[in-house]
Every structure is written in structure tokens, then in C-alpha cells.
Amino acid sequence: MADGTIVEALGLGLLEGLTEFIPVSSTAHLLLAGHFLGFQSTGKTFEVLIQLGAILAILSVYAARLVAIAMRLPSDPRARRFVAGVLLAFLPAAVIGVLAHKIIKTILFEEPLLICCVLIAGGLILLVVDEMKFKPRYTDVMDYPLGLCFKIGLFQCLAMVPGTSRSGATIVGSLLMGTDKRSAAEFSFFLAMPTMTGAFAYDLFKNRDLLTVDDVQLIAAGFVVAFFAGVFVVRHLLDYVSKRGFGLFAWWRIIVGAAGLAGLWVWG
């Protein structure tokens, strides 16, 4: 049974929705907040399963575009290549996620010191990348070559370490390989759909016999708040990134990581 209250679940759900699609690592924020609040979920399932709210958020915002792509699949090679590219990018995380699931949940999720250090390191990397002057070769996600998509998927695997950030890893990887900031963030959105759905389904399957009614109530509360917060972020992130880059997110990572280290030093 989870050790937490509905109020804590609502707060963590808000945190999930606000941080899932920006390069600050939602998992790191949830794990650190849960650590200092004393919030303990059964098998660390809460932190994964409330992602359903964020999944539905991005599906709702992109529903019209997803339907349009699906309608074009039979006749448009460009649409078929795009879908194949997203699935190809998803493949590495799917394989590694299954093989390393136990290590991730029982070891990496239980190391707040590691999470804080990775947050700070990722923030510094994001600052450097944000200042680099790239010459984009790809500005439309529909034109991403399959090889590029697969390499972005390999970068996404770095996010198996809490604190790395799934969106941060994919965006940085995309930029380094010739994309612009807006399309990199957008491809990260599309890649989130199969990745987060797969993580949700697999974690639910692995822990189906451990969950109680109380667990389900906490997860449902977090899910609802995560959905509405996720919708807000998805609708506004692309324009913000296009105009201002990733500096704000980099500094946020560094501040949260440093605050976490201070909290661990004071409270343990």
C-alpha cells in the first residue's frame, strides 16, 4: 500500500504534468519530492502510472494532427516514413526498458544523491548546447530520415537514469544531429506517445498484483491533475522554445539539483 495522502498525490500530479514535456526530468522531480515528503508508492508505480495523464494530454492536443497523419498513411510515403521513424526511435527504449526494468526501479529510483548530481550535470550540458550555433538541416519532423530517428531513440535511452530527462536527452541529441529547436521539441512530443504508453502498460502489468484500492485512488488523483497541467505545457512549450531556447530549464535543473543536495545534507 502507498504511504501518502490525496493532497500529496495531487501535488505530485501537478509536478508531473508541468515537468514531463520540458527538459528538467519529471521523474527526478517526483522522486525527490516524494523522498522529502515521505511519499512512498507501491513498487514506485505511482511515479510511472500517473504518466497516463500526460499521455492523454499530448494525445488530446495533437489529436487532429494524428488523425490527419493516419488518414494519409495509405497514400502518402512521407506520412508512412514519419510513423516508421517514431516507432524506430521508440525501439531502443522499449528493449532496454524491459531488460533493465528491475535495476531502474529498485536501484536507480532509490538514489536521490545520484538524481541530484545528474540534474546538475544535465543543466550544465543544456546551457552549453543552448549557446551553440547550429546550422539546422531538418526543420520539419515529417522530413526526419529513419537513421536520424533511430539515433534520437538511442539518446532517449539515457533517460533511464532518473534526472537525465527523456525530453532533454532527445532534444539535445536532435540538435547535435542537425535539427532546429522547435522540431526537436516536437519530435520529442511524438516520441513520448509510444514511450510513455509502453512504460505505463509494462509497469502496470508488472505490479498488477501489488496495487490496492488506496493506490488506485492516489494514482487517479495524480493522473487527473497531470492531464490538465500537461495540456497547458504542450500548448505553450514550442513557441517558448523557438523564441527563448532552453536556458531557463537548464538553470532550473541546476537549482533543483543543488537544493536537493542541500536537503540531503541537512535531512538525509
Q: How far apart are CA 9 and CA 13, in angstroms?
A: 6
Q: So what's the pLDDT on residue 251? A: 96
Q: So what's the pLDDT on residue 3? A: 59
Cα angle for residues 247, 61, 101 (degrees, 5° grid): 70
Nearest in space to 184 (alpha carbons), one of 141, 246, 120: 141
Q: What is the pLDDT of residues 2-51, one digit of tens each?
A: 556 889 889 999 999 999 888 999 989 998 998 898 887 766 788 888 88
195: pLDDT strictly greater than 50: yes
Q: So what's the pLDDT on residue 267? A: 87
Query: Averaged over 83-111, what is the pLDDT?
Result: 90
156 pLDDT band, cuts 50/70/90, is: very high
243 pLDDT band, cuts 50/70/90, is: confident
Grid cell for residue 117: 548530481
Grid cell for residue 233: 505545457
